[in-house]
Amino acid sequence: MSTELRGLNLSYRYSGGKPWQAKPATAALTDVSLSVGAGQSIALVGSSGSGKSTLLRTLLALHKPHAGVVELDDRPARAGSVASLRWYRRIVQYVPQNPAGSLDPRMTIQQLLQEPLHQLRVRGDHRRMIQEALERVELDPAHVRRRPGELSGGQNQRVAIARALVTSPKILLADEPVSGLDLPLRNTVLDLLGRLVTRDRMGLLFVSHDLAAVAQLCQRTVVLSSGRIVEEGETARLLKEASHPVTRQLIAAVPGLPAMSESAKHTVMADSQSSYNRSGLHGRNGTMLLQP
């Protein structure tokens, strides 16, 4: 049976201040549903504050939703103890935005890749698993004796991906994995992720504000705004024929994307002002919030 991760009707609220403060809770997610299965690459895009990080943490079973459920092949995955989630973490793994923040500089690459195998109690030949994970990201296995500070930024990003792959997961949740990389390294990582989807039939949820990367990598795109899905569909069609003002603004802000149709293009400026306050695309000082 093909593996599928589903978030069904997810809602999440952040507490309104201190326990003694009578402030209303803030809705971070409202009735959000999405799925990613084997061989699928799904993009999750939106401005800062749209709910991307909250949804990602909920799908990782780090947040307990106030409504809805996260399921892996019809089995609920609920936030809980390390032991109760080992089965889930072996199959659903996370690629962080900033490998420098997730790779302990005191540990060797060997130790960093051994850690999830030990924590998740994965049986088998760990040395072979580590070598295979490094080969999948095209990193020389001789690097196992090195530490993150001895590697380049691009090599450390590959180590972070290898660390996610070492348990042989079926689904990857990647949080802005090419943010901050220069163009050659960015393209290398995108090619690597693409091969994992097409060659290894891995499911990928690619969280990003980089619509050019989304266009290159993802089959389908989900647009989030103010904690709600406002548009979704096949990536090529959505980028060319976006129907929601938030999607149009995101596209218009990125040069070099496939051109929108003339009808969509003419409505961008009109939509921009009407949705200025409600879309979550602007900070208090009016600046665009398109950076992570």
Tally of domains in the chain: 1
pLDDT at 20: 57
Strand, helix or coil at 241? coil
In a domain, 281, yes or no: no
Q: What confidence tier does 1 reach under pLDDT thresholds 50, 70, 90?
A: low
In a domain, 172, yes or no: yes
In a domain, 201, yes or no: yes
Strand-by-strand arrangement of the 4-14 sheet: 26-37, 4-14, 67-72, 75-76
Model confidence over 81-101: pLDDT tens digits?
999 999 999 999 999 988 878
Whether this prediction's pTM lies above 0.75 is answered by: yes
Model confidence over 17-42: pLDDT tens digits?
555 565 667 899 999 999 999 999 99
CA 44 to chain centre: 7
Name the residue with higher pLDDT: 278 or 10. 10
In a domain, 247, yes or no: no
Strand, helix or coil at 254? coil
Question: In 10 A of CB 233, how many CB atoms?
Answer: 16
Give the length of the chain: 292
Strand, helix or coil at 275? coil
* CATH number of the domain enclosing 188: 3.40.50.300
Q: Mean pLDDT across the stretch 265-290?
A: 34
**9 half-sphere exposure, CB direction, 13 A CA radius:** 2
What's the first-to-final CA gap in the chain, in angstroms?
36
CA angle, 162 as apex, 119 and 45 as ends, to 5°? 100
User: Beta 67-72 vs 41-45: how paired, if at all?
Assistant: unpaired
In a domain, 75, yes or no: yes
- Most confident option among 151-155, 194-198, 267-271: 194-198
Tokens describing residue 109: 């690459």
> Domain range for residue 180?
4-11+27-232
In a domain, 212, yes or no: yes
